[in-house]
Chain A
Amino acid sequence: MELKTKISAENGKQDLLITREFDLPLELLFKAHEEADIVEQVMGTKVLKLENKKFGGYQLETKDGKGNVVFQANGVIHEFIPNKKITRTFEMGNTPFGVQLEVYEFEKLTDETSKLNVHVIYESVAQRDQVLKLPFAQGLNMAHDRIQEIVGKLK
Chain B
Amino acid sequence: MNLRRDVFQAIADPTRRAILLLLATQSMTAGAIASNFDTARPTVSKHLQILTQCELLKQKQEGRENYYQINAKKMKEVADFIEPFRKMWDDRFNKLETIMKKYKTKK
A-B contacts, CB under 8 A, total = 96
Chain A contact residues: helix, strand, loop or mixed = helix
Taking the nearest CB of chain B, how far is it from the CB of A96, in angstroms? 11
Cβ A126 vs Cβ B97 within 8 A: no
Chain B contact residues: helix, strand, loop or mixed = helix
Cβ B97 vs Cβ A38 within 8 A: no
Instruction: Pick from B31-39, B46-54, B83-91 the stretch touching chain A.
Output: B83-91
The listed residue (A5, A140, A148) touching B93 by CB distance below 8 A is: A5
**Residue B25, interface by CB 8 Å:** yes
Cβ A135 vs Cβ B26 within 8 A: no
Closest A residue to B94 by CB, please name it: A4
Q: How far is the CA of A96 from the CA of B84 in the complex (A)?
A: 20
**Residue B64, interface by CB 8 Å:** no
The listed residue (B24, B77, B104) touching A133 by CB distance below 8 A is: B24
Interface string of A19-60 (1 = CB under 8 A from B): 010111100110110000010011100000000000000000
Number of interface residues of A (CB under 8 A): 39
Residue from the set A9, A24, A133 with the largest chain B CB neighbour count within 10 Å: A133
Taking the nearest CB of chain B, how far is it from the CB of A132, in angstroms? 5
Q: How far is the CA of A3 from the CA of B12 in the complex (A)?
A: 31
Supposing A20-B93, A22-B93 touch, asked if A130 and B24 sit within 8 A by C-beta, the answer is yes
Q: Which 7 A/B pairs are nearest by Cβ-Cβ distance?
A: A135-B84, A5-B90, A136-B81, A126-B25, A28-B100, A7-B86, A42-B96
